[in-house]
Structure 1
Amino acid sequence: MTNRRPIVAGNWKMNGLRGSKAEIEALIAALSARPANACDVVIAPPFTLVADFSSTCASSPVEIAGQDCSALAPGAHTGDVAASMLADAGATAVIVGHSERRQDHRETDEDVNAKALAAYEAGLTTIICVGETEPERDRGATLDVVNGQLAGSLPDSADSSNTVVAYEPVWAIGTGRTPTADDVAKVHATMRETLVARFGDEVGNGFRLLYGGSVKPANAAELMGVADVDGALVGGASLKAVDFDGIIDAYR
């Protein structure tokens, strides 16, 4: 299938202040200078900047996402942010199941599944993250781990209209290390097979599969050229417009 529109998404994590809007404005200017953009562009700033950045990005090629959401409806849940609140602030998508949430906050596949359902209810596209740790990789469990996370994290109602899947090898995030193109191709091909087996040919082949883990302008073209890689989920390199635009440039 070749008609899946690529996505390049930037996860700012716990970075960014109001002054960081200058980077968003620079990114919008760079994208707007092109005759057409060959991919969707998404930025996930911290919660404090979602509304402001959404306003800045209105009528631009850039969409805004949340970095997480609660599975719960609004109520007495101090410190949590409901999916409906993100949508109200102007977000169109949300990341769930990022490895830092799975590790630091002990989130399970069941937790991620519930958050995805809440996001669907709020009309948000979910970017559901999966990926193995270094010990899991070293013992040859990569495909088993990724397939298990796909099985547990994706709701039965997932399809290409509400869900994007991001493969992020945990050992590569922020380390400067990346799998080989062949390694990425093997994982993405397996994810595609797993999704087709569960959801059928049409739905399974419709999911966009992103790669994340030390994606930089220097390696973006090679990684984005791998079969079944439909874009990238970018960490640190998304904080500066010039670097992020260099990754988007892989789709010119």
Structure 2
Amino acid sequence: MAESKRHRDILNLLQQNGTLSIAELAGRLGVSFETVRRDLRPLADNHAIVRMHGAVALPSMLGEAPFERRLRDNPEAKKAIARELAATIRDGDSIMLDTGTTTSILARELLGHRRLTVITNSSDIARTLATSNENRVYMAGGELRSDNGAAFGSTAIEFISRFNVLHAVISVGAVSAGSGILDFDFEEAEFARTLLTRGDRRIAVTDHSKFNRSGLVKVCDFSDLTHLVTDGTPPPDIMSALESAGVTCLIASLT
């Protein structure tokens, strides 16, 4: 691939996705970390991109939090996934949710439910569900991140470890047939891994764009899940791995 074409590909990916990690860019382009870093240098020197903490973005997108940008990625797919999962949750159920765009949309789909017990590290989810329909909402403590208003770290993990719930739901950064469920942030992966241990149903939610995507940090094996909810049939290798692990795959309809 000619260098100028790869530069265009990088800029197109950033335009479509907002902020991307170096690992994610390498996976999307099918090249090594070092190749991506080398390609990014002239773009950064020419101020076409901005580099920050292992990730890159377009300068025009820095005024908006990455979480807010991700809410606009595949919105119909995420709403369909949220509807599919919400239909399996009953009034009075207990549910634990990590922070993520799909789990935030799920919280909105749950506004029609009553008397839920909700445990989360997301201020957005807590705010959505705390004041409606006799719900009880518990929020993990700690410093809230500026981009997504969520708490991570040992305090948040210790807090959620006190609860056992019927539904434990995590959002997903990447899904790999060989590696399982992956993310791009160590603390987020650690929190999600602990969250899954607290539920009778252990559920991952992801739209189809995350399949066979590269991730930096492993969250869990497929065998740590009971369900995966998505908007399209996974590729054969992932579907085979899910079936071998005994995971029920729920496919949401977009219609």
Both proteins in one fold, TM over 0.5: no
TM score, norm. by length of structure 1: 0.35
**Higher Rg of the two aligned structures:** 2
More helix by share: 1
* Greater relative contact order, per chain length (Cα 8 Å cut-off, separation 6+): 1
TM score, norm. by length of structure 2: 0.34
